[in-house]
Chain A
Amino acid sequence: MTPAPLHVAGERLMLDPAGLLLWPARRTLVVGDLHLEKGSHFAQGGRFVPPYDTRETLDRLQLALRRWRPARLIALGDSFHDAAGAGRLPAQDAQFLHRLLAGMEMLWVLGNHDPVPPEGLPGTAVEEFRDGPLTFRHEARRGPVKPAEISGHFHPKATMPTRCGGVTRPCFVADAWRVMLPAFGAYTGGLDAGDPAIAGLFPRGARVFLLGKDRLYSMPVAPSRARLVAAAGAAGPG
């Protein structure tokens, strides 16, 4: 596992190929949309998808926590698939989660799927969280962000063209002011980083980091089309 260094607002951050972000100076680990208990959410609606998603996601989180031993963990919202998700945690998984978070500062940023603090779990729930130059929130804010923002929400993925066709992976999206994390949950799909919903947040272009087995693969992404058209219009004759 080789993390990729990234400098944002003068801070040195590390991108973990497993899809997490580390801020070494603050011993802080940041994880994107966990969507815990998505399986049981579907089961409520009569679709019995396998109930092992929470365990699978926590297993992966445990590996990252062991690797980085952070003092603080920030979950960027949509940590549970719905507001009642924490209440549905099977006892075994709830205990596991308690053990994982023991002795650590835990910050639950609230998301659109889980707008209320998770019931019965350690940690503090916050709408957003600011530390030094960095603001942590669920959904990236439109327009300029000062000084810098770390967010989740969009589940970005990207396709890298290779000589044998495109390879699609979940990815980080970053420019000088923003870092967007990929979703971390076992049952989370993705939205292409070229989609206007994401690209619109990076009007000057961005760099994507595709998750790989042991490392990240990065490439630049051109400024969004909409902006180009607007710019062309402004620069055009008449």
Chain B
Amino acid sequence: MGTLPEPFAAWFAGRGWTPRAHQMALLRAAEAGESALLVAPTGGGKTLAGFLPSLIELTGRPRPGGPGALHTLYVSPLKALAVDIARNLLAPVEELDLPIRIETRTGDTPQNRRARQKEDPPNLLLTTPESLVLLLSQPEAGPFFAGLGAVVVDEIHALAGTKRGDQLALGLSRLGTLAPAARRVGLSATVAHPEPLRAFLSPTGRPDDVRLVQVRGGAAPELSVQLPAGRLPWGGHMGLASAPEIYRQIREARVTIVFVNTRAQAELVFQALWRLNDDNLAIALHHGSLTVEQRRKVEAAMAAGKLRAVVATASLDLGIDWGDVDQVIQVGAPKGVARLLQRVGRANHRMDEPSRAVLVPANRFEVIECAAALEAVRHEELDGDPPRPGGLDVLAQHVLAMACHAPFHPDALYAEVMRAAPYAGLTRRDFDDVLRFVEDGGYALRVYDRFRKLFRDSEGMVHVRDQRVARQLRMNLGTIVESPMLKVRLRGGPVLGEVEEWFVSTLLPGDSFLFAGQTLRFEALDAMTAIVTRGGEGDPRVPTYAGARLPLSTWLAARVREILHEPRKWRLLPAPVQEWLRLQRKRSMLPEKDGLLIETFPRGGRWFLVAYCFEGRLAHQTLGMLVTKRMERAGYGPLGYLATDYVLAAWSAFEPTEVESLFEEDILGEDLEEWMAESSMLRRTFRNIATIAGLIEKNHPGHEKRPRQMTMNADLIYDVLRKHEPDHILLRATRQEAAGGLTDVARIGLLLARARGRIRHMRLDRVSPLAVPALIEEGREWVAGGAEDALLAEAAALVEEVTGGEEIFAETLAAVTEGVRVRAGVVDKPRHSKGRERPRRSRFIRSAPGSVTGA
């Protein structure tokens, strides 16, 4: 190990620090002008390691102001992280009085500061992927980045493999063109496969061009499982039964983060804790739908040590260093070992001391999952997704951004794009089609020529049409697609946050709901704002969010299956769970090691079929497509299905009787193309792709106030495009992306071959103990088959019966209603509707949980 140059050596010594091996390794890489990826557990001084070489270089060769002053660009997935790191870096810079200027640039940076930064850039600029692409789309990007010496990408594991990551990779590739000498530094939490991250960071897209610096170990975390004192719930993911135990744990620790899996769960757990909070402990709430100010307030209170606990979603998974957290509680199944470790690492940022974490399973199945997770952590088994090809929708955005920067030649841009690892395999045909899409839509019917956004000159250079196009791009840049949201405002008070529009559309004035940690009464809808007051009566509802509806992935299926198969292993499980498995054995049967257990039972007006395959969610997703297709052919009227890591559950209007035939190998021969294209999964995928590619805009110049009216229903576009130009680039992109959510048919073939002759069909009169958790899982897919019309016919016939089947109803209706005085509370509901079911008042046809939608 070498030594640090002065004045840094003295500064380290003054704090009682010695430079760590990985910090020196990054310094060596920088001196050699090489890029490097640092993989280290939380608390390893990662960030300082990433910046140290830049600080040393800038101290030796200061860069006064003016163009070319920018030396290091730092990119993080979180705005808050960029701001936090800037603050931390100021410590050494001020204490050592270094000639270095540090600034941030995010969506929150005021316009005048941005303009000033363009003229007079800082030495270190901290930003996000979106802000980076915005900078790159400016005409002045060339001189701005020309002197760049280093790019630091923080939390790189959270970006690679996502669409934001695709966008960043393309941006890095452009930086490689503007500043070829700039080295890159990646900072990552511990991951199972560092190779894809090296490739992601690499200026060439090849992993070998990036030095790998890995820090092993750190103390193993101390994990325990906490069960509720009372009954262990059968189902549900909220974990409220354990609230007293969670509260006790909070009281016994100094500072706790209570991690939950969804925003709805955060609201409920927060409420439950405050109901118990006799000691008046400072417990706060943090999730992505609260206003930025409110989140910042919680973070600041946390940093200042004023809180005892914060209930948080993934919004706190990354970043900000709060040294004082000494306990993490994970409520609900951890879903994935890498993510669990990341969360556990939020407690105790010192690497050599163990982090302490408590897992609180919400139901019986989750107890088994938690047991499996503990085993996996003990065996240091990490999970992670293999790299997937970059999204063509993101590429479309990038192409337009690059045209806004300066005219380009398609050959040169293609070569540059291929240097980004996610696009290393991009075919020229796909690239050209994306370019054509950006130009004028790229349709075979060439009628949009006069509206084109890009045009080519005689030398083949591609230019952007005008500044309006550039403005439009900048307003819509980014790859995060959200459902339409409405602000929630206290009457005469502040905005509390946002909920999805569809949720508000189900509320009537006077209804109450839980949000921002309080019970609110919905008063009225005012333009794009839901007006509420505090309080409210009755059972409050809890807003859910589309993002939360997506199932979480776990890689623990194999371990869970093993525990189920081996009654001897049940000793690992608490008594109520053992009891539950015994009950399953009595009511139905346990899945056998080599057989395939399939249960069918009626429930809530439909028939359910649950197949215990244990092949993982992706395989079950594909199987769900195949099986529902066969159910359609058999006339069972399939309505939807759900794939978890353990089971496939499908439901239908009519009883599936010939169950074995649904799982015969020849279902692989079904023509799936058309069936898949109709599926909700493909439609959802298309909606996102169309938004990111710019077909549907989030914002439109001059129409900021009513964005809804400017958008068009993606399902309608999808249907028309599929019929008239099935090979259009956006449909190819949709199929490519959806394929990532499915598994190849060959693997399904193996499963079916194994099950042949060993299918055990249990026809039950009600749901079985083991099936309960699956039926309440999120992430349902619906099937748009003939069943919808069959159900409508049934319902209409019922209505007919009730209303007496009047053929000439109009006169009758008039005659009847004319004479009758209408009284509130007597006829205020249509007779066919019962309970909470009432037509939604959403303006757009869309699918929402629990309803089947079609057009």
- Which of A's residues lie within 8 Å of B, judged by CB? 5-8, 38, 40, 42-53, 55-56, 90, 157-170, 174-176, 186-195, 204-205, 207, 210, 212-215, 217-223, 225, 227-229, 231-232, 235
Contacts and interface: CB of A to CB of B under 8 A. Distances in A.
Interface string B774-818: 000000000000111101111110010001000111110110011
B851 A159 contact: yes
B14 interface: no
**Leading 3 A-B pairs by shortest Cβ distance:** A48-B441, A163-B605, A232-B824
28 contacts: A7-B811, A43-B448, A44-B451, A47-B694, A48-B440, A48-B442, A48-B443, A49-B717, A51-B445, A52-B721, A56-B724, A159-B839, A159-B851, A160-B792, A161-B833, A164-B639, A165-B850, A166-B839, A187-B720, A188-B716, A189-B843, A190-B855, A218-B799, A220-B803, A221-B830, A223-B817, A228-B828, A231-B823
A169 B791 CA distance: 13
B298 interface: no
A165 B852 contact: yes
Contacts of A158: 839
A217 B796 contact: yes
A196 to B, nearest CB: 9
B821 interface: yes
Nearest to A157: B845
Contacts of A42: 712
Contacts of A228: 822-824, 827-828
Contacts of A204: 813-814, 817-818
Given A186-B716, A219-B832, A227 B799 contact: no
Interface stretch (B62-70, B358-366, B695-703): B695-703
Nearest to A163: B605
Contact of B720 (A53, A159, A161, A219): A53
Nearest to A191: B843
Contacts of B833: 161
Given A160-B792, A162-B852, A186-B719, 19 more contacts: A40-B451, A46-B694, A49-B712, A52-B725, A56-B723, A90-B445, A161-B795, A165-B852, A167-B853, A168-B855, A169-B855, A187-B716, A192-B841, A210-B792, A217-B792, A220-B830, A222-B827, A232-B824, A235-B823
Contact of A160 (B796, B811, B813, B828): B796
Contacts of B696: 47, 49
B824 A161 contact: no
B648 interface: no
B469 interface: yes
Contact of A223 (B443, B445, B827): B827
Interface residues of B, number: 83
Nearest to A222: B830
A176 B814 contact: yes
B447 to A, nearest CB: 5
B813 A166 contact: no
Contact of A192 (B639, B724, B842): B842
A159 B792 CA distance: 10
Contacts of A165: 850-852
Nearest to B837: A161
B832 A161 contact: yes
A195 B716 CA distance: 22
Quick one: which of B713, B716, B719, B803 has the most chain A CB within 10 A? B716
Contacts of A223: 817, 822, 827
A167 B469 contact: no
A94 to B, nearest CB: 12
Among A44, A164, A186, A220, max chain B CB count under 10 A is at A164
A47 B400 CA distance: 13
Interface in B432-465: 437, 440-443, 445, 447-448, 451, 453
A24 B811 CA distance: 20
B851 A166 contact: yes
B653 interface: yes
Contact of B448 (A40, A169, A218): A40
Interface of B: 437, 440-443, 445, 447-448, 451, 453, 468-469, 472, 604-606, 639, 651, 653, 694-697, 700, 712-713, 716-717, 719-721, 723-725, 728, 786-789, 791-796, 799, 803, 807-811, 813-814, 817-818, 821-825, 827-834, 837, 839-845, 850-855
Contacts of B843: 189-192, 195
A162 B606 contact: no
Contact of B809 (A159, A170, A207, A225): A207
Nearest to B812: A176
B840 A159 contact: yes
Nearest to A215: B793
Contacts of B791: 162-164, 167
From A48, A176, A194, A218, residue with most partner B Cβ within 10 Å: A48
Nearest to B448: A43
A49 to B, nearest CB: 5
Q: Which of B606, B724, B832 has the most CB atoms of chain A within a 10 A radius of its CB?
A: B724
A55 B840 CA distance: 32
B720 A52 contact: yes
Contact of A167 (B440, B725, B788): B788
Contacts of A191: 843
A166 B837 contact: yes
A175 to B, nearest CB: 6
Contacts of B823: 228, 231-232, 235
Given A165-B852, A174-B810, A217-B793, A205 B817 contact: yes
B441 A163 contact: no
Contacts of B809: 207, 220
B395 to A, nearest CB: 16
Nearest to A166: B851
A218 B789 CA distance: 12
B822 A189 contact: no
B824 A56 contact: no
A213 B825 CA distance: 36
B695 A49 contact: yes
A176 B844 contact: no
Contacts of B441: 43, 48-51
Nearest to A42: B712
A219 B796 contact: yes
Contacts of B829: 222
B786 A213 contact: yes
B845 A190 contact: yes
A204 B720 CA distance: 38
A43 B451 contact: yes
Contacts of B651: 164
Contacts of B852: 162, 164-168
A48 B813 CA distance: 47
Contacts of B445: 51-52, 90
A193 B606 CA distance: 27
Contacts of B811: 7, 176
Contacts of B639: 164
B828 A225 contact: yes
A142 to B, nearest CB: 18
Contact of B717 (A6, A50, A159, A218): A50
A70 to B, nearest CB: 23
A7 B810 contact: yes
A163 to B, nearest CB: 3
Given A166-B851, A232-B823, A212 B792 contact: yes
Nearest to A165: B851
B717 to A, nearest CB: 5
A49 B827 CA distance: 44
